[in-house]
Structure 1
Amino acid sequence: MNILILGYGKMGKIISQLAEERGHRIVAKINIDNVSDLAHVDAADVDVAIEFSQPESAVGNITWCIEHRVPVVVGTTGWMDKKMDVEKACKATDGTVFYASNFSIGVNIFFKVNAFLASLMNEQDAYQASIEEIHHTEKKDAPSGTAISLAEGLLENNRQYQSWQLAGDAPMSSGVLPITAKRIDPAPGTHTVSYASAIDDISIRHTAHSREGFALGAVLVAEWLPGRKGMLTMNDFLKF
């Protein structure tokens, strides 16, 4: 399979290596230093693109893929304010965009556990829910896309909370789920969802030991994606 890499930072390099080890050909590796090279990429020679760049570059990269009818796997977070525009463009061209805030199989199982726990805690108003995430210091967005996905899963399944807010100096209003974002090297990612009361605490946690799990998940999705259409997620890939 011919793969276009959009974003050649730490994740892009691991993805590229894993893809080549699995017998795939890398058509081009586009990053901030050679972004003009994208204009010279022959879309007809690309089976799928994998996008792990920066929030400010993601929508442009995705748009290029949609316009050139290249299925794209997107792992960049921090661009969700433009998601509706991407969805409209994808639908208008019968395109293929696969987005996940996290490609780890374990994290996506964790998302399901989080939603189930949130529903169990629906009537337990003695508990205050919170989310904490820890990433390396090069992580640009805060909170992380994974933390936001966890917050959205909790909000969808627990009516005690109507919104989430990044924790800071300002006090939290009732019904607001606090997210604490920490940046500590070399942590690849730890996410904890907690319910605290005066009597006891309940917590669930996912800790990543390396970036390889995220990278392999993205490559597996890229292998699965050609021939499929629309806006897709890990729920489609994992058949949850």
Structure 2
Amino acid sequence: MIINDILDYDIDRKVERTKSRPIASDVITRFQGLCFFGFQITLGLVILFPVLNNLSRLLGIPFLFLMCTYPLMKRITYWPQAYLGLNFSWGALLGWAAVKGSLDMEALCIVFPLYMGGVFWTLVYETIYGHQDREEDIKVGVKSAPVLLGDSSKKWMTGFAIACIASLVLCGYNAQIGWAYYVFLIAAFGQLAWQIWSVNLSSAADCMSKFSTNKWFGAMVFCGILIGRLLPF
């Protein structure tokens, strides 16, 4: 978020929802923000580097690249939300490597669908989130999925939701998780469907409200994995 706010300094100052952010409003300077970012990275390395294996350390390099280049995507592509999904879901790959120490073909049959499920989930909730700023993004001249999709957003988000659940089903099947996992996935899909078809994309407040409910989707998937492992039959 610090890198995002530093690189988007001039854009954030022109958007009502973001103009009061600390860097955009000059409460702190970009240099101070960069110093704090350096402190965070250093602290993270001090904590994680001694306990991570070599594969996990290597996987951390492309993650840092993805993280630091994400803010530039809205200037390049209408799909910065997809690029953010590649960021947010990276923990699936890195976490597996940290625990198992390898990413062989068998592992990828489990981890890659999990990763893609996270990417498609991000496309759903970030498209809802992005509709808060759609009109101002058009005025400022930045790109986003809501700017591109407009009135077709709900149809696209429905496709993303189906792809998300399908990916998670494939992940669970390959990992041989028990039946409870799929029960929770049905509930999670219902939660996504409710978000998509009930959200008023013209209302910034409703977009934010629906976006905030994604914690429940994540909780359902987590509980499905946990209980599916405890009840493997």
Is TM > 0.5 for Structure 1 vs Structure 2? Answer: no
Question: Which structure's residues are more often helix, by fraction?
Answer: 2
Question: Which structure's residues are more often strand, by fraction?
Answer: 1
How does the TM-score come out when normalised to structure 1? 0.28
Which structure exhibits the higher relative contact order, with contacts defined as CA atoms closer than 8 Å and separated by 6 or more residues? 1
How does the TM-score come out when normalised to structure 2? 0.29
